Structure 1
């Protein structure tokens, strides 16, 4: 039963993880791409769409919430097969030795991707190197071993789930399933007296998963549900009050952006083929203003509801830079002095979307410093880090 839950849960995690990587537009190298030499592993990459506008909020919210919820199931599954670790002789044949070695990739890969994922969600970057390539390659290694293991064990899983009455078997303390005995069984050779029923054991695992779900899922919502996200860095009450009272990932102070960089001396540089403009905030406010209701959704799994952003369309700024017809991709640069993604690239389909803005205001008020004043990018369905804050330069054209 634990394996069946992981079969579906791990598959969902892998698919949504690949989608998250695609959403970062890794083809726009070397700006967005943190994973060199993808080779065949990047076969599936595609231009991330802008519709529906809540797409990344859904896929990444599922990825993080389901991943954390599965932790007790994974640990219980590993505990259930612990007797096999000490089985003697350690290898009965060459084929058996190869199978046991493959389990190193399965178990080690699972622990690695879950550990790095949880550390990233908690904003604890204690692992060596960048999270993106570590998690990307680790996920592929794990899932290859996972698919092979699931294919080998699927017939046995089906037999066990069909044999006898499942509800009846969950009521008993003793007795093994039809496949527990023999060289492929999971029963300990000299088991101690049972202290909990099968149903009790599954209840303990399910209760742990339910607790983690209840204390994590709220970070994907605004209002009172966010206060239930006790284990998430962006849980708790919304910051402050007023139009800007919704979550931020990085504050202006944390990345070295102060009033000296965002005051009257600030200029937005808009560059294109043979044309470069330097625009004040007043210049930008004098251009045609548009409004779009869009959320912020981050790789750590947290998100906000739709906020009413207003500002200048990116495609209109591309026209100012010399692209009258089809707006191209754009390189966005930030004033921030510290942290990742000081530069980010957006595809042409994102620039051309009429909801993609260089936002100057949100919910009817000027941006706050923590929300990117004097100007920030907001794009439908894009990961939060691509919605660059404290924008200093937009370069349209070849990246």
Structure 2
């Protein structure tokens, strides 16, 4: 029996009969639609942070022209960010088997010699390296972020943002070159036999359609064990791969998901006691200091809103009650249309100890400095004595353990 070549640069090294133009084309078309949707929802997720509110919310200060599309994130519908981020994270995880299968199907092309036959071929190979490297980088950092495993150097936000632009640029170039060929190959969808990549293919153990069913089954399994973190009720129990998925944590009015506990954030209970805590509100009309008792004497309002985070998990609508942000703005000289607001927390550890909200978010009557949730005082882990809750905003902007509100131009 002849020995198989040991070098991946040898054509005889790649003998799987599954590799072929039809198999690769099917995977490529799936990724064409899926990755495009991933990129769009990723851009929207970034816009939801209102990064133009510099330097508070801006985690990518050198983005330059890449921020050309940014806009004031809306507050309607109130589940907008929950939907967008649920789609982004769930789709990204679901596409992992498809991506790996696609990389496996084209692996021989990465080792072809000579590496460049012409300038055009050299540019195509470079774009392919950027495409493969960018895809692996984006999917790996995304999965690590979802699992709260920050093993990569630096902040997730600029790494994922700039990586997405590099990857998608290479993806667009590759798609422009290969999509017409892929569509021609798919016209032969019912043909079991297509030209194989391997010059001396090994005996088949499964058909190409069988391989596609295997890849699709892997994607379906990941979907079923991830998507539940964005839903309510019994579906949430299927989110086995999501750190904040599964059954509702605890019971009672405060029995819903959290990202940071009071202990993790370094909150000293002595600071949040009714005797010690004061909310400082500043604006063009001066500064006022409000105790919890003072806040309770102001008009209180309620809103049913979810919390949705960048990792893809979200809560069901919780019933919040507190003082409207626009009413607090009125206390310091902003009657009528309120301005942006800068929010500071007692939090000592972790990201987003400070955050800013757009004027349209402050003006929404459902935007509250919440004091109660589901009929009871906020628990320490949910931000007692007061937290921000805003419709359609990412969870990190719904600041907990609020200490100061500064209204005005940021």
TM-score of the pair, normalised by structure 1: 0.94
Shift of 1:269: 0.5
Aligned-partner Cα distance in 1 for 2:164–2:248: 33
Aligned to 1:151: 176
Aligned to 1:247: 257
Identify the match of residue 84 of structure 2 among 39, 52, 59: 59
Aligned to 2:352: 341
Q: Secondary structure at the match of 1:31?
A: coil
Shift of 1:85: 1.9
Aligned to 2:62: 37
Aligned to 2:342: 331
Q: How does 1:89-238 map to 2 (within 5 A)?
A: 89-163=114-188, 166=189, 168-169=190-191, 172=192, 175-176=193-194, 180=195, 187-238=197-248
Alpha carbons 2:141, 2:152 under 8 Å: kept: yes
Q: Secondary structure at the match of 1:270?
A: strand
1:280 aligns with 2:291: yes
Identify the match of residue 259 of structure 1 among 269, 276, 296: 269
TM-score of the pair, normalised by structure 2: 0.92
Aligned-partner Cα distance in 2 for 1:53–1:221: 15
1:74 aligns with 2:85: no
Deviations along 1:73-101, one digit per CA (max 9) or x if unpaired, are: 00000000012122233222222122111
Aligned-partner Cα distance in 2 for 1:327–1:101: 51
Aligned-partner Cα distance in 1 for 2:232–2:401: 24
Q: Secondary structure at the match of 1:81?
A: helix
Identify the match of residue 360 of structure 1 among 350, 368, 371: 371
Aligned-partner Cα distance in 2 for 1:40–1:308: 40
Report the count of equivalent residues: 384
Aligned-partner Cα distance in 2 for 1:38–1:313: 34
Aligned-partner Cα distance in 2 for 1:97–1:298: 41
Aligned-partner Cα distance in 1 for 2:198–2:117: 18
1:381 aligns with 2:389: no
Unaligned ranges ≥5, structure 2: 1-25
Aligned to 1:183: none
Alpha carbons 2:228, 2:246 under 8 Å: kept: no
Aligned-partner Cα distance in 2 for 1:274–1:353: 21
Shift of 1:195: 1.4
Shift of 1:274: 4.4
Unaligned ranges ≥5, structure 1: 181-185
CA RMSD of aligned residues (A): 1.1
Q: Secondary structure at the match of 1:293?
A: strand
Aligned-partner Cα distance in 2 for 1:89–1:325: 69
Shift of 1:296: 0.4
Deviations along 1:305-347, one digit per CA (max 9) or x if unpaired, are: 1111110000000000111122000000011110000000000
Q: Secondary structure at the match of 1:262?
A: coil
1:83 aligns with 2:108: yes
Deviates more, 1:331-340 or 1:252-261: 252-261
